[in-house]
Structure 1
Amino acid sequence: MSTKPSLTLQRRINAAPAKVFRAWTEAAQLMKWMHPGDAEVTRAELDARVDGRYLIRYLKADGRELEVSGQYLEVVPDAKLVFTWAWRSSPEQESLVTVLLRPDGNGTLLTLTHEQFVDEETRDHHQIGWSDGLDSLERYFA
């Protein structure tokens, strides 16, 4: 049995875990920092509780609109989020995201794992997007 591709990224964020958690779970904050590449968030609906749903709509510089949505499977305030991830254009390719937050001095060590990708190319595209997004999160709290 083959293992589906996955990725793991880490960042040290210059804010307490509670603040970083809110940046992931409050729509107004998420819209300010989650900017993968040339995309801007134009809509965010987040019901950050177990079985709650979320939807994020992006507008790319070329005018294309992208939408991702999913369901929260685990929510541990200030420490952990686990949620499904599926693009509107390919809902059958659902994957899984885990965000772990650990206190690190005056900041937070964030570990993001995204797994169950359909193939390596999809994983590689998400690696770029998440890296850009987490860079934006670092700047948001700089």
Structure 2
Amino acid sequence: MQWMHPHDTTCIHAEADVRVGGRFRIVMRAADGEEHDVSGEYREVVPDEKLVFTWAWRSTPERESRVTIVLRADGAATDLTLTHERFFDEAARDAHRGGWASALDRLVEHFG
């Protein structure tokens, strides 16, 4: 709830059952009051190394995409590589790029 949403939203609900076959759901509220509800299923979980999960907005569940997060130790730090793929179209890809960049900025701020 503290970081996995863009700066221009507030996370009002988050749940995660982080195991293969488990599900997550995040509900964000924009400044204009509009709510954005996304959920998915964990497909691969390797502790301290990798997460792979589906990603689908409640408003467009047929547009399921896939997110892969890979963590790699780098001395006292950790490198995080996030790949989001299988988008419905380029507009969706571009919108998610900005959202993820903002969320990852929040992650750095939170754990700085």
* Bucket of the pairwise TM-score, normalised by the shorter protein: over 0.9
Percent sequence identity over aligned pairs:
59
Give 2:79's aligned residue: 109
Maintained 8 Å contact 2:49/2:71: yes
Q: Given residue 93 of structure 1, which amino acid in structure 2 is its aligned partner?
A: R
- Aligned-pair CA distance for 1:93: 0.2
User: Gaps spanning 5+ residues in structure 1: where?
Assistant: 1-30
* Mapped partners of 1:125, 1:37: distance in 2: 14
Please give the root-mean-square deviation of Cα atoms over the aligned residues, in Å: 0.7
1:33-72 residue CA offsets vs partner (Å, 9 max, x unmatched): 1231311111011000000011000011110011000000
The one-letter code sitting in structure 2 at the alignment partner of 1:112 is L
Q: Structure 1-normalised TM-score?
A: 0.77
CA distance in structure 1 between the aligned counterparts of 2:11 and 2:45, rounded to whole angstroms? 23
2:81 partner SS: strand
Shift of 1:105: 1.2
**4+ residue segments displaced more than 2 Å:** none
Aligned to 1:32: 2
2:43 alignment partner, one of 69, 73, 77: 73
In the other structure, the counterpart of 2:16 is 46
Could you tell me whether the CA contact under 8 Å between 1:84 and 1:95 is conserved in 2?
yes
Q: In 1, are the aligned partners of 2:71 and 2:80 still within 8 Å (CA)? A: yes
How many residue pairs match? The answer is 112
Structure having greater relative contact order (Cα 8 Å, sep ≥ 6): 1
Match of 2:32 in 1: 62
**Larger strand fraction of residues:** 2
The answer for unaligned runs of 5 or more in structure 2 is none
Match of 2:63 among 90, 93, 114: 93
SS in 1 for 2:95: helix
TM-score normalized with structure 2 length: 0.98
User: 2:90 — aligned with what?
Assistant: 120
